[in-house]
Amino acid sequence: MRTAAIIGGGIAGLATAAGLTRRGWRVQVFEQAATFEAVGAGISIWGNALRALDALGLGDEVRAAGARPGIGGFRDGRGDWIMRGSGDPDEVLVLHRADLLKILLAAVPAECLHVGARLDPAVLDRTEVDRLLGEVDLLVGADGARSGVREAFWPEAKPLRYVGNTAWRLTLPAAGIPAFDGCETWRDGRVFGVFPMGEDQIYCYASARAAEGGRTDELTELRWLFGAWPDPIPRILAAADPAAVLRHDVYTLPPLDTFVRGKVALVGDAAHAMAPYLGQGGCQAIEDAVSLAILASGPDLEVALREYDRVRRPRAQRIAERSLGVARMAHLSSPPLAALRNSALRLMPSSLMRRSMTRMLDSPLPAEPATSS
């Protein structure tokens, strides 16, 4: 029986563990926090990630836990539509990260899960690292954007890069807020997204240009930045709980030359931390996890890991770059350039948008190996 140690118990780590245990691996997941808890608010799960979750046998549970945001689209500062969605309200759903984490946790045997375990190769000495590698067939770095596994085994990797924006996320009950289609509003170089979420909740996110590391009274700042924007944004901010607002500066990881070193593989943000402007960060982590689990269960693990890198790295890095492009477009602060952007998008045929989304979402998972060991 093959064995794996997975460093990190977030979405990427648990999805990898679920995929490997489903295929007969003996897996240990090491999470440094005291509990397996989702840090964040909502998450969008697009069709590509739903197909990967189907491969884990979890797709229907995730669909039941989430909400469809409607056709959606993008609005300008007056609330007028710049562009409606692609026309397929079933291609994405929104749910709380905690609900997704709960579903993934239930798919991993309890004896495989270890909390309060700071098993970080970046702070272990070389002897301990060698011992760890000698005890498993596969070591998976699923420990986030500031990955200790990446630091230890990719010492030449460039540091995270601040993109110049900070982001806020919050959830709140939908009671008292009129029904709406999920959408993003763009104005003055700022963005505010609002979407219905499962269990009669609303998920919101916002972003704006800001100095790195700045912190203040988050809800007060949100009300100052966005309180006069079109409905339902003012109603939502008036009803929000200050304790529910999360703020994080936005970083991206410069492209790595490989996601695999020997028997070590990176998944999720450890491999390709990206700006959150396409809703694909978590989706790509799930694709990584399921692809790795499928390929690593083939007869030759070394060949399988090379194939994982060949399949996943170009796609994830391409989406990360595209997300940065969307960030630059959405945050245009020059009124003439923003007006030109809005006019161009209003003229764009909906079929062109659908084709663009199809190219991003219609990526097949690797085929299951004909034989496994």
Q: How far apart are CA 211 and CA 208, in angstroms?
A: 10
Answer yes or no: are the C-beta atoms of 140 and 4 closer than 8 Å.
yes
Q: Distances from the Cα of 275 to the Cαs of 249, 330, 360, 361, in angstroms?
A: 10, 12, 16, 17
Q: What angle do CA 42, 48, 50 make, to 5 degrees?
A: 60
Answer whether residue 341 is part of any domain: no
HEC letters along the chain = CCEEEEECCCHHHHHHHHHHHHCCCEEEEEECCCCCCCCCCEEEEEHHHHHHHHHCCCHHHHHHHCECCCCCEEECCCCCEEEECCCCHHHEEEEEHHHHHHHHHHCCCHHHEEECCCCCCCCCCHHHHHHHHHHCCEEEECCCCCCHHHHHHCCCCCCCEEEEEEEEEEEEECCCCCCCCCEEEEECCEEEEEEEECCCEEEEEEEEECCCCCCCCHHHHHHHHHCCCCCCHHHHHHHCCHHHCEEEEEEECCCCCCCEECCEEECCHHHHCCCCCCCCHHHHHHHHHHHHHHHHCCCCHHHHHHHHHHHHHHHHHHHHHHHHHHHHHHCCCCHHHHHHHHHHHHHCCHHHHHHHHHHHHCCCCCCCCCCCC
User: Quick check: is 196 in a domain?
Assistant: no
Q: What is the pLDDT of residue 144?
A: 94
369 found inside a domain = no
Task: Return the CATH number at 45.
Answer: 3.50.50.60
CA-based nearest residue to 296, from 10, 12, 24: 24
Query: Does residue 371 form part of some domain?
Result: no
Q: Name the one residue in this structure whose structure tokens are 């500066």.
A: 249
pLDDT value of residue 290: 98
Report pLDDT for 373. Answer: 42
Q: What domain range is 126 assigned to?
A: 3-70+92-161+253-328
Q: Taking the CB of residue 177, how many other CB atoms lie within 10 A of it? A: 18
Q: How do the pLDDT tens digits run along the chain, 373 residues long?
A: 999 999 999 999 999 999 999 999 999 999 988 887 766 789 999 999 999 999 999 999 999 998 887 777 899 999 999 988 765 555 788 999 999 999 999 999 999 999 887 767 766 666 777 777 888 999 999 999 999 999 989 999 999 999 999 999 999 998 888 777 789 999 999 999 999 887 788 999 999 998 888 777 899 999 999 999 999 999 999 999 999 999 999 999 999 999 999 999 999 999 999 999 988 999 999 999 999 999 999 999 999 999 999 999 999 999 999 999 999 999 999 999 999 999 999 988 877 777 777 777 888 899 888 754 4
Between CA 126 and CA 158 the distance in angstroms is 22
Contact 134, 30 (CB under 8 A): no
Total residues belonging to the chain: 373
Classify residue 238: in a domain, yes or no. Answer: no
Nearest Cα residue to 31 out of 127, 130, 136, 105: 105
Task: For residue 124, tell me if it sits in a domain.
Answer: yes
Does residue 217 form part of some domain?
no
The number of distinct structural domains making up the chain is 1
Contacts of 219 (CB under 8 A, 6+ apart): 237, 240, 241, 242, 245
pLDDT of residue 372: 43
Residue 372 lies in a domain: no
Whole-angstrom Cα distance, residue 35 to residue 24?
Answer: 26
The pair of three-digit structure tokens given for residue 9, joined into one six-digit string: 């118990």
Rg (CA), the chain: 21
pTM for the full predicted model:
0.93
